[in-house]
Structure 1
Amino acid sequence: MAKTDSVLLIRRKVKIMNELGLHARPAAEFVRAAQAFRSEIWILKREGRFSAGSIIEVLMANLNCGDSAMIEAQGPDAEKAVARLVGLVRKFAEEDVP
């Protein structure tokens, strides 16, 4: 946790455990959740930084089963945003694969 210009920056590591990764349906749910917050939210991987509010960028992050990534948010509701998105990633891991 760091403070930058009086705006909180929060980062939490997540591991993708859903057998199919963060595919289209959960990615869409993830993006809708991210868009509900005022903070800027990013997915960080070795390959780059991807906007959590863009379905195209979330899919481009190519989050497969076993991958680790950071969810980063900066803004007035950063803590809530990161907690919500980390919770969603964990929920996706518990879902049955069709």
Structure 2
Amino acid sequence: MMERTTLIVQNETGLHARPAALLMRLAERFQSQIELEKNGRRCNAKSIMGILSMGVKKGDELVITAEGTDAAQAIQAIEELFHKEILE
């Protein structure tokens, strides 16, 4: 099963080290393959270097895709993380 969501980064500093680490640790809890996409570039959400290499800034649109048995739960958890920890 594949799930997808689109989020706009509202954090003033984008996905710097702390929020990138939070996202990576959360993604690692799921069996699904989870990817971030920005402007056609993709990375594995379970890779801190991959996330940081995306250079995500405030206002950027991120498409988050999860594919696997727990994809829906992964997307829901990532949306909650963005709204609670990263966006505000």
Normalised by the length of structure 2, the TM-score is 0.94
Higher relative contact order structure (alpha carbons within 8 Å, sequence separation ≥ 6) = 2
RMSD, aligned CA: 0.8
List structure 1 segments (4+ residues) > 6 angstroms apart after TM superposition. none
2:38–2:60 CA contact under 8 A, matched in 1: no
Q: Does 1:65 find its partner at 2:31?
A: no
> Letter of the aligned partner of 2:67 in structure 1?
Q
Query: Which has the greater radius of gyration?
Result: 1
3-state DSSP of counterpart to 2:87? helix
How many residue pairs get aligned? The number is 87
Which runs of 5 or more residues in structure 2 are unaligned? none
> Letter of the aligned partner of 1:93 in structure 2?
L
> In structure 2, what is the equivalent of residue 44 of structure 1?
37
For 1:9 and 1:87, the matched residues in 2 are separated by 18
Q: Does 1:22 find its partner at 2:15?
A: yes
Normalised by the length of structure 1, the TM-score is 0.85
